[in-house]
Chains A and B, each alone.
Chain A
Amino acid sequence: MTDTLDPRLGWSRWRRSWWYHAATYAHTWRGSVASTIFFPIFYLAALGVGVGHLVTQHTGLVQGQTYLHFIAPSLLATTAMQLGEGESLWPVLAAIKWIRNYHAAAATPLEPEDIYLGKLTWVATRSLGTGVVYTIVIACFGALQSWWSLTLPLIAVLITLAFSAPLIAYAATVQSDGSFMTIYRFAFVPMFLFSATFYPLTAYPGYLRPVVQLVPLYHGVALARAAAFGRGAWGAVLCHLAFLIAMAVVGVIVGRRTLRRRLVD
């Protein structure tokens, strides 16, 4: 038996990269576990219960739901996005440029594609874990109404991948982290606030609605809501799914190339 790796058996190599990322995370998990559990509780308590109380007094139900139930799925979606974003910019550039551990990994039998896919699967793993915690928290607040809500963790994974794959591809091309803060503040914060997250799409003036529908997170939020409440037109759901999958696939295609170019060429 030789120890050489069959180049076709991708997983046998990129799972090493997955392990590597998991092991790194093992050093730093404490803080992020606390935020994974407490942040949804904080948001649901303040916005769902607190602001929800005011909404109920004035408006009553929002799209047939209490305000608490209405925003609970969108928090899962936004958190999945933030996870993908937080894991894919600074940490990737650090691994390429400052700590240079991706260069070390590229000096082993791992190909840059393996590193990329290992990173991506690791982010997806974390997203799955976070998704499960969120689904439980949301269930505790009584916001789950259908068996479809069991798919919420998977939806979280899809949303994370849709953001993570292209962002890693981008992070592999930059020389400094100068643009990251701008992306965070001027793309992700507005996306968090303007993706029909905290109120229905109908609150926007008619001419703005198509614009909102082009925002990637909007599709994540809509998908999560459809799953939590078990209602939603099949056509619309497929459209949301297609949008997110397309982002992830394009990200993977580009990212494999950009990371190779950065590490090897």
Chain B
Amino acid sequence: MLLRALPRFGSRRSLHVFERNFMVYRSQWIMLVSGFFEPLFYLLSIGIGLNHLVGPLPVNGRLVSYAAFVAPGMLATSAMNGAVIDSIFNTFFRLKISHAYEAVLSTPLDVADVALGEVWWALTRATAYAASFIICMVLLGDAGSSWVVLCWPAAILTSLTFSCLGLAACTYLRSWQDFDTVALVQLPLFLFSATFFPISLYPHWLGALVAFSPLYQSAALLRGLSLGQFEWIMLMRVAYLVALAIAGITLAARRFQRILAP
């Protein structure tokens, strides 16, 4: 089904949207670089203090330091934050403030090319983000095993999922004030997706609710990979993230179409 959808979905021309973003970011790179640093600062801060206050935690029968427990969650968070800055904030600007996309549509590119181009860009950014964060994890001694390299593709998938969801979400925003709402979604996701403590601390029903959080699924997947603990449920987590990505990009393409070329 995916194969059948692909040829219709965008063209090689979508790479020009990537090119455009690259051109803009040559002057705004600090914004992107800084998005990466936030979770790193969290990791450092936790390494200094909380690591000792909390002490080691059991994960699937293995005791790991608190910093090693939190690090994959921060990796997932960095993927989410990058997507919020890029796919929601910047895309909103081009869609509703500068109307730059309208200009793009008067060229041979069509709406699917625009959406796909944004995804290419998001993927590239995610690849760089994830690689540098994983290197930091290793240097700080927060990687649980050498399987941590598998966190790389998994973190890229996380970015993809959040970017697709973000592209869809930004089409519903009406003004800058709606970014308060974005923060109101982003913060609980960050705090409650079993990023800072195991999901087992929740009452059963609440844990079941948290399992719907894509950030939780990603953090759990990354934690398993970082510690080298492989389980079948990881495939479920991957499938969930892929499904959300497809749903997000499909909705985004439809909403873009409605806004840009009614």
A–B direct touch in complex (beta carbons closer than 8 A): yes
Given contacts A46-B196, A50-B201, contact A198 B34 (CB under 8 A): no
Residue of A nearest to B39 (CB): A189
Q: Are A43 and B178 in contact (CB under 8 A)?
A: no
Q: Are B192 and A46 in contact (CB under 8 A)?
A: yes
User: 8 Å CB contacts to B: which residues of A145-192?
Assistant: 178, 181-182, 184-186, 189-190
Q: Are B48 and A181 in contact (CB under 8 A)?
A: no
- Interface presence of B135 (CB below 8 A): no
Q: Are A35 and B184 in contact (CB under 8 A)?
A: yes
Q: Are B197 and A53 in contact (CB under 8 A)?
A: yes
B residues near A (Cβ < 8 Å) are 30-31, 34-35, 37-38, 41-42, 44-45, 48-50, 52-55, 57, 66, 177-181, 183-184, 187-188, 191-192, 196-197, 201
B55 is contacted by which of A42, A58, A194, A198 (Cβ under 8 Å)? A58
B191 is contacted by which of A34, A46, A182, A198 (Cβ under 8 Å)? A46
Residues of B within 8 A of A200 (CB): 49
The smallest beta-carbon distance between A77 and chain B, in angstroms, is 16
The smallest beta-carbon distance between B105 and chain A, in angstroms, is 27
Decide if the interface of chain A is mainly helix, strand, loop or mixed: helix
Across chains A and B, the number of contacting residue pairs, with CB separation under 8 Å, is 98
- The docked-state distance in angstroms from the alpha carbon of A85 to that of B184 is 19
User: 8 Å CB contacts to B: which residues of A30-54?
Assistant: 30-32, 34-35, 38-39, 42-43, 45-47, 50-51, 53-54
Closest 9 CB pairs of A and B: A31-B180, A199-B49, A185-B34, A58-B55, A46-B191, A193-B45, A203-B49, A50-B197, A54-B54
Residues of B within 8 A of A199 (CB): 48-50, 52-53
Q: Are A32 and B180 in contact (CB under 8 A)?
A: yes
Given contacts A53-B197, A55-B54, contact A42 B45 (CB under 8 A): no
Q: Are B45 and A35 in contact (CB under 8 A)?
A: no
The smallest beta-carbon distance between A131 and chain B, in angstroms, is 20
Q: Are B41 and A189 in contact (CB under 8 A)?
A: yes
- Interface presence of A108 (CB below 8 A): no
Q: Are B201 and A53 in contact (CB under 8 A)?
A: yes
Q: How large is the interface on A (under 10, 10 to 19, 20 to 34, 35 or more residues)?
A: 35 or more
Given contacts A47-B191, A181-B34, A185-B37, contact A194 B45 (CB under 8 A): yes
Residues of B within 8 A of A184 (CB): 34
Residues of A within 8 A of B31 (CB): 181
Residue of A nearest to B202 (CB): A50
A residues near B (Cβ < 8 Å) are 28, 30-32, 34-35, 38-39, 42-43, 45-47, 50-51, 53-55, 57-59, 62, 67, 178, 181-182, 184-186, 189-190, 193-194, 198-200, 203-204
Given contacts A181-B34, A189-B38, contact A54 B177 (CB under 8 A): no
- The docked-state distance in angstroms from the alpha carbon of A219 to that of B6 is 57
Residues of B within 8 A of A204 (CB): 48-49
Given contacts A43-B191, A51-B50, A203-B52, contact A185 B38 (CB under 8 A): yes
Q: Are B177 and A28 in contact (CB under 8 A)?
A: yes
The smallest beta-carbon distance between B89 and chain A, in angstroms, is 11
Residue of B nearest to A197 (CB): B45
